[in-house]
Amino acid sequence: MTDGGSEPAADGGSESSAGVEAGGPPVRRLADWNAGELRTLAGEYGTPLYVLDLDRVRENYRRLAAAFPDAELLYAAKANALGDVLETLLAEGAGIECASAGELERALAAGAPGESLHYTAVNPPARDLEYAVDVAADHPRLTVVAGATDTIDRLGERGYDGRLALRVNPGVGAGHHEKVRVGADAKFGVPYDRAVEVLADAAGRGFDVVGLHAHVGSGVSGEALEAHREFVSRMGELARTVERELGGLEFLDVGGGFGVPYRDDEESLDLAAVAEATREALGGVDARLTVEPGRYLVADAGVLLTRVNTVKEAPGTTVVGVDAGMTTLARPAMYDAVHAIRSLEPDASGRERRPETVTGPICEGSDVLCRDRPLPASERGDLLAIGNAGAYGYEMASVYNSRPRPASVVVDGVESRLARRRETVADVTRPERAATEPRD
């Protein structure tokens, strides 16, 4: 679903000049999407609308697999748990990393075998843990990853003694925002210097200890790669200590967090260099390397389409109101994230450019998708596209202000289909009505 150069981008973004490597070009800019096809989808399904290109998901996976040919690749489902995405990646050979019981249930529904699943919940609620233990009874090759001794105790209390990996806090964090630099956050994992002790105790209690897990953060690229190298080096050292003192491990999971360029002037991640640096930093370990990317596989496979409903002149800027906001795409409000915005109007390239502040319909000052961005002068009824929306877009959507969540469409080759219908207010209020209905 590319323009092929037939229609210039209208947001000032440049076409990707990166060469093609295994799995397609390493970065897909918003300018690369076919504006005519996006207009057709918006006309058929309405807005706001998430569009996800499954071919691009496959390209991204194949590029990653080529860079890490000997590693186990797990998809971090929290980036986008749409069933079509899970099924596509499972068909490509990926496993699934699940951060909740809900993601575990969705992975199983998508056809994931137990041996391809890691359940890596943080402080799991009781009902979640009980569900995972029940699943493991039917799928004994499922791996449960625990990040606290209490979690191990709670598993034992529920009769679980199956495959166990330990999440470790490596003391090194990196990522695009302080809220996602989990590697040094005490919330995540057992302290590094207690890992061997905790693993020895778990093995002594009959658990099948199979691996180590850690994650440095999300959106790692550029200068943060040095922190990634330090983190991997520390985990390699720990794995060698475990192998020496407790015996072999099946895998060492160093997480994901591979970044994508959200700004037009950012370069794509040199994945081959990252893979080589990871192997060098890891050093010699008998355990299999496991990585679990999320954003890298789906971010540039998705766009969000939104319609302009209000144009208001204000001092120093023009406020452009659209029908998508922070309940549709939370990242700008939550992380000050930058997403490319492009007018999809056929005459946009000929319009005067002016600073525009694009805002949503939510009654919050934080409901802003961009501020003072040079854009072709917007008019009521225009269709805009928001780029890199395939990761943490719909997954973080909410019904704040009682706003139903948007629809999702997948494009697969030349075919498109509705993957998730648009919610209604009745969907939002159904749990309340069900709570008052008489029980049999």
In this structure, of 279-283, 302-306, 324-328, 353-357, the range with the lowest mean pLDDT score is 279-283
pLDDT at site 239 = 94
In this prediction, residue 173 carries a pLDDT of 43
Confidence (pLDDT) at 177: 36
**Residue range 205-260, pLDDT digits in tens:** 999 999 999 987 655 555 567 777 888 888 999 999 999 999 889 999 998 888 88
Task: Out of 278, 297, 316, pick the residue that ends a domain.
Answer: 297
What number is the average pLDDT over the span 348-352?
A: 96
Q: Please indicate, yes or no, whether residues 110 and 252 belong to a single structural domain of this protein.
A: yes
Which of 75, 14, 91 has the alpha carbon at shortest distance from 298?
A: 75
**Considering the chain, what percentage of its residues have pLDDT values greater than 70?**
89
Q: Given a cut of 50, is residue 353 above it in pLDDT?
A: yes
Rounded-to-integer distance, Cα 118 and Cα 45, Å: 35
Average pLDDT over residues 106-130: 97
pLDDT value for 185: 61
Angstrom distance (rounded) from CA 26 to CA 51: 20
Helix (H, G, I), strand (E, B), or coil: what is residue 21? strand
CATH of the domain at 88: 3.20.20.10
Indicate the pTM of the whole model.
0.91
Spatial contact of 132 and 121, defined as CB atoms under 8 Å apart:
yes
In this structure, the answer to whether residues 380 and 437 fall within a common structural domain is yes
- Between residues 98 and 440, which one has the greater pLDDT? 98
Q: How many domains does the structure of the chain reveal?
A: 2
Among candidate residues 297, 315, 337, the one where a domain is terminated: 297
* pLDDT value at residue 259: 84
How high does pLDDT run on average in the chain?
Answer: 90
Do 104 and 208 share a domain, yes or no? yes
Beta bridge partners of 321: 310, 359
pLDDT(13) > 50: no
Measured over the CA atoms of residue 299, residue 303, residue 304 and residue 308, the dihedral's sign is positive
Domain final residue pick, 250, 282, 297: 297
Q: Where are the beta strands (DSSP E) in 214-340?
A: 251-253, 288-291, 302-314, 317-322
Nearest residue to 107 (alpha-carbon basis) of 135, 77, 132: 77
CATH number, residue 436: 2.40.37.10
- Dihedral pair phi/psi, residue 308, rounded to 5°: -75, 130
Q: Give residue 2's pLDDT.
A: 63
State how far the Cα of 40 lies from the Cα of 262, in Å rounded to an integer.
Answer: 25
- Give the active site residue among 186, 314, 363, 414: 363
Q: What is the pLDDT of residues 64-86, one digit of tens each?
A: 999 999 999 999 999 999 999 99
One domain, residues 274 and 310 = no
Q: At what angle do helices 126-138 and 101-109 cross, to 10 degrees?
A: 30
Same domain, 283 and 315: no
* Model pLDDT for residues 354-367, shown as the tens digit of each residue: 999 999 999 999 99
The larger pLDDT score, comparing residue 22 to residue 294, is at 294
Q: Are residues 99 and 216 in the same domain?
A: yes
Are 198 and 280 contained in the same domain? yes
Give the closest residue to 54 by CA, choosing from 414, 439, 423, 438. 414
The per-residue pLDDT for 324 is: 98
275 in the same domain as 150 = yes
Could you tell me the two tokens for 133?
């233990």
Residue 412 sits in the same domain as residue 312: yes
Q: What is the pLDDT of residues 140-177, one digit of tens each?
A: 999 999 999 999 999 999 999 999 999 999 876 443 43
Q: Which residues pair with 420 in a beta bridge?
A: 408
Q: Are residues 275 and 173 in the same domain?
A: yes
The confidence score (pLDDT) of residue 247 equals: 87
Q: Tell me if residue 363 is catalytic.
A: yes
Amino acid at 359: T
pLDDT of amino acid 101:
97
CB 252 within 8 A of CB 240: no
Q: Which domain holds residue 184?
A: 55-297
Give the confidence band of 14 by pLDDT, cuts at 50, 70, 90. very low
pLDDT of residue 3: 54
| Gap between the Cα atoms of 412 and 425, Å rounded | 30
Q: In this structure, are 359 and 432 located in the same domain?
A: yes
